[in-house]
Amino acid sequence: MPLLTRLNLAAATSPDLAEALIALDKEGWSETGAKTRWMTGGYFRALYHNYANAYYQYLNGTLDEDQWLPHLREIVFIVEDVDHQAFWSEWKIVYDDPFRELVDELIEGPTQAVLPK
């Protein structure tokens, strides 16, 4: 089963994770408690590692642009959220340079060069 499917199933079937995501939405990354941050942070790290892997495959030519663009569009959607931006500023060090640069650029605002038609 693909990682993204497993992640979505985890969020849908784990009452604790669901409550943590709801708490994060209400309180925000900076104001929420440590348990919520660790639960949601672990979930976000797995999600971003999935995206980083897809980006690596895209850069190496094993994932073509048609396969990469849905990932990119989802990243663009996610990083518009201030809680994801706060998470990213704390955890981006665990990702490789090309992926960090991509996400940082997307947070600043996607350009046509980054997000083709």
pTM (two decimals): 0.80
The Cα 116–Cα 72 span in angstroms is 10
Residue 19, domain extent: 3-108
- Does residue 39 lie within any of the structural domains? yes
As for how many domains the chain has, the answer is 1
The Cα 3–Cα 46 span in angstroms is 8
Reading the chain (117 residues) residue by residue, the pLDDT tens digits are: 454 455 566 666 778 888 888 888 889 988 999 999 888 898 899 899 999 999 999 999 999 999 999 999 889 988 988 998 999 999 999 999 999 999 999 998 866 545 554
- Does residue 115 lie within any of the structural domains? no
What values do phi and psi take at 64, rounded to 5? -80, 170
pLDDT of residue 7: 54
- Compute CA distances 58 → 15, 29, 38, 41, 102, whole Å: 34, 30, 30, 25, 13
In which element (H, E) is residue 60 found? none
